Structure 1
Amino acid sequence: MSKLQDISPYELMAWMQAQRPFALLDVREEDERQHDHIGGEWIPMDEVLKRQQELPADKPLVVYCRRGVRSAIIIQRLQEKYGMHNLYNLSGGLTAVRQLGLPL
């Protein structure tokens, strides 16, 4: 099993400011997405494995959810089933971004 790569909200903000190429994936449910998000693609957690072909393989993919738990689970499943190594888990999820007051 591959090691989970984390990215902090501060690191994500630095990537955005540096215009580093990456993609974002929100794996929360629709009602959560409608309430708040930081952009990126939205594929609910229970659909991600079925829609894996829609995920970019040519650049880092930062996966997020509310607190970073569901995103970590889906990253492990994608690594195990498809051998994906370009995945980063947003530490603390959207909650951490909002608590830190970051302009994402």
Structure 2
Amino acid sequence: MEEMKEITAEELKQRLEKGEKLNLIDVREDEEVAYGMIPGAKHIKMGEIPHRLEEFNKEEEYIFICRSGVRSENVCRYLQELGYSVCNMVGGMLAWEGEVE
């Protein structure tokens, strides 16, 4: 199986601070994202991903985020098998020290 790309919360924060345009997808549940998401992230619950594949472009990379990095890793494996370019934020929001909105 192809190795999965990963990014740490700190690396992601640095890339965003440089002004990079990244596709961030938060796969947590509604009550979890209520406490704040990384600015610019799009909320698509894990269970909705299979029904919303048309929102993803195979030419672009997507970074997936959850609370601890486990659900987002599962989403990444699923999408990678379908041919999408994905990256998992290791440690999830528990590791995120940047701003939230």
Check whether TM > 0.5: yes
Tell whether the 8 Å contact from 1:21 to 1:60 is kept in structure 2 after alignment: no
Alignment-derived partner of residue 43 in structure 1 = 44
TM-fit CA distance, 1:102: 3.0
TM-fit CA distance, 1:50: 1.3
Deviations, residues 14-33 of structure 1 (Å, cap 9, x unaligned): 21122222111000111111
Alignment-derived partner of residue 88 in structure 2 = 89
Q: Flag structure 1 segments of 5+ consecutive residues without an equivalent.
A: none
- CA-atom RMSD in angstroms: 1.5
1:1-104 to 2 correspondence within 5 Å? 1-39=1-39, 40-80=41-81, 82-85=82-85, 87-97=86-96, 101-103=97-99
Q: Which amino acid aligns with 2:27?
A: V
**Equivalents in 1 of 2:47, 2:60: separation in Å?**
23
**Equivalents in 2 of 1:62, 1:92: separation in Å?**
13
Q: Flag structure 2 segments of 5+ consecutive residues without an equivalent.
A: none
Tell whether the 8 Å contact from 1:60 to 1:88 is kept in structure 2 after alignment: yes
**Larger proportion of strand:** 2
TM-fit CA distance, 1:62: 1.0
Identity between Structure 1 and Structure 2 (%): 30
**Count of matched residue positions in the alignment of Structure 1 and Structure 2:** 99
**Equivalents in 2 of 1:56, 1:14: separation in Å?**
24
Q: Which amino acid aligns with 1:15?
A: R
Give TM-score, length-normalised by structure 2: 0.87
**Equivalents in 1 of 2:27, 2:35: separation in Å?**
14
Q: Which amino acid aligns with 1:84?
A: Y
